[in-house]
Amino acid sequence: MILDGQLAASVHAAAAALQRGELLGLPTETVYGLAADSDNDAAVAQIFAAKGRPANHPLIVHVADAQAITRYAKEVPLFAQQLMDAFWPGPLTLILPRLPDAAKASTGGQDSVGLRCPSHPVAHAVLKACQQLSPPVWGVSAPSANKFGRVSPTTAQHVATEFGDDLLVLDGGACEVGIESTIVDCTRGVPVLLRPGAITRDDIERACGQRPLSKEELLAHTPRASGTLLAHYAPNAKVRLMAAPQLQSALDLLGADGRNIAVYHRSALRNASKDVHLRAMPQQALATARELFGTLRDFDALGAKLIWIETPPDSADWEGVRDRLQRAAAAA
Ligand code: TXA
Ligand code: MG
């Protein structure tokens, strides 16, 4: 059931459902989450079951404000505090050392916990309402509301399509950011970028004075993370990334027969087939991130068997989009 997230009554119904141990489709500025009370192990287990997600892939705990992390994090290094000050509420997740009894099921018993304070007004209203319940719900665990390995949802309808009408979903509109939060591991003495997103490497360096290490440099030590599996974010169609000249040659080869092919392009292209679905990628990275997952879903819905995507620019602001596209292509 989809409820209007703007209404106070919906927000309270959603908070009460979380308190009862039920699941909720929660809008955030990045993607929609499949939410449950972080400290209710049975409720959190339902998230893993509904997603088909292996239990050793930890979930992010969402909090209403930076204050609430004291219930989950054992300590906060200075650079992590600076990142929180700069980017919370917003699309940044920090991995911090975990308090022994907090969010056990969400973290799969790991000694760290992922924390994020979302900026979406509906997410914020729900988290605030949860804090005011008796007993309060201090943290809400929410992975992206998609089946394991599939494209993340950026509208309430995507969530309903994925999980059916029984799930309560708050409609908060289309997600502003469109790709999942940037994840920075703050448990290793220096910031380590585990997942690129709208907050870039450059943004992080500006805020804390340290350039984050890439996860490749520390991969051997990082916990398993589903966002780091190569074949993730996969639409049903096979995805290929190509530079503009390669893409043009492929279209030329097709000639008039372009059935079941979708193209997401940046350059002007010659195209002789009226069957090919052409969609222009926005010039800006942020605008592309916003529409990316919806575009992949649209291509699937159009019946595309092949999706050809022009490789985006190599600059830091495109890192999050490049990452998601490379994963989608790796699944082919
Ligand atoms: O934008 C987002 O982060 C969205 C919205 C709903 O907030 N959530 C999201 O969750 O993308 P999910 O579960 O799809 O991705 C969470 C990522 C996973 O790759 C997980 O392994 C990693 O965060 N993660 C969570 N806790 C961790 C921890 N303690 N150590 C390392 N990685 C962690
Ligand atoms: Mg996900």
Whichever domain contains 173, its CATH number is: 3.90.870.10
Phi, psi of 135 (to 5 degrees): -70, 150
Could you tell me if 43 and 168 lie in one domain?
Answer: yes
Ligand 1 pocket residue status of 143, Cβ below 6 Å = yes
pLDDT at 132 over 60: yes
State residue 311's pLDDT score.
97
pLDDT at 225 over 70: no
Could you tell me if 16 and 118 lie in one domain?
Answer: yes
Query: Is residue 30 in some structural domain?
Result: yes
273 CA distance to ligand 2 middle (Å) = 35
pLDDT at 199 over 90: yes
* Tens digit of each residue's pLDDT (9 = 90 or more) over 143-166: 999 999 899 999 999 999 999 999
Domain boundary among 218, 253, 274: 218
State residue 330's pLDDT score.
87
Could you list the beta-strand ranges (E) of the chain.
2-4, 24-26, 33-37, 60-62, 92-97, 112-116, 140-141, 168-171, 182-185, 192-195, 213-214, 238-242, 261-265, 277-280, 306-310
* Whole-number average pLDDT of the chain: 93
Query: Is residue 78 in some structural domain?
Result: yes
Ligand 1 pocket residue status of 63, Cβ below 6 Å = no
Confidence band, pLDDT 50/70/90 cuts, at residue 231: low
Confidence band, pLDDT 50/70/90 cuts, at residue 183: very high
Confidence band, pLDDT 50/70/90 cuts, at residue 230: low
pLDDT at 29 over 70: yes
Query: Is residue 229 in some structural domain?
Result: no
Which atom of ligand 1 is found nearest the CA of 30?
A: 1
**For a substitution probing ligand 1, which of 51, 60, 180 has the most ligand atoms within 8 Å of its CB?**
60
Which atom of ligand 1 is found nearest the CA of 59?
A: 25
Dist. CA 140–CA 38, nearest whole Å: 5
Which atom of ligand 1 is found nearest the CA of 145?
A: 6
> Are 250 and 242 contacting, i.e. CB atoms less than 8 angstroms apart?
yes
Could you tell me if 72 and 200 lie in one domain?
Answer: yes
Confidence band, pLDDT 50/70/90 cuts, at residue 284: very high
Confidence band, pLDDT 50/70/90 cuts, at residue 331: confident
Domain boundary among 218, 250, 282: 218
Mean pLDDT of the 276-298 span: 96
State residue 295's pLDDT score.
97
Lowest mean pLDDT among 117-121, 162-166, 210-214, 225-229: 225-229
Query: Is residue 227 in some structural domain?
Result: no
Dist. CA 162–CA 61, nearest whole Å: 22
Dig out the tokens for 100 from the structure: 């022994």
Could you tell me if 282 and 183 lie in one domain?
Answer: no
Could you tell me if 249 and 207 lie in one domain?
Answer: no
Closest residue CA from atom 24 of ligand 1: 58
Ligand 1 pocket residue status of 320, Cβ below 6 Å = no
Closest residue CA from atom 22 of ligand 1: 225
The identity of residue 269, as a single letter, is L
- Total domain count for the chain? 2
pLDDT at 256 over 90: no
pTM for the whole thing? 0.88
Which atom of ligand 1 is found nearest the CA of 224?
A: 21
Closest residue CA from atom 15 of ligand 1: 143
Could you tell me if 25 and 149 lie in one domain?
Answer: yes
Could you tell me if 204 and 255 lie in one domain?
Answer: no
Dist. CA 69–CA 263, nearest whole Å: 43
| CATH code of the domain covering residue 313 | 3.40.50.11030
Confidence band, pLDDT 50/70/90 cuts, at residue 223: low
Query: Is residue 233 in some structural domain?
Result: no
Query: Is residue 6 in some structural domain?
Result: yes
**For a substitution probing ligand 1, which of 24, 59, 192 has the most ligand atoms within 8 Å of its CB?**
59
Could you tell me if 123 and 212 lie in one domain?
Answer: yes
Question: Range of 77's domain?
Answer: 2-218
Could you tell me if 44 and 186 lie in one domain?
Answer: yes
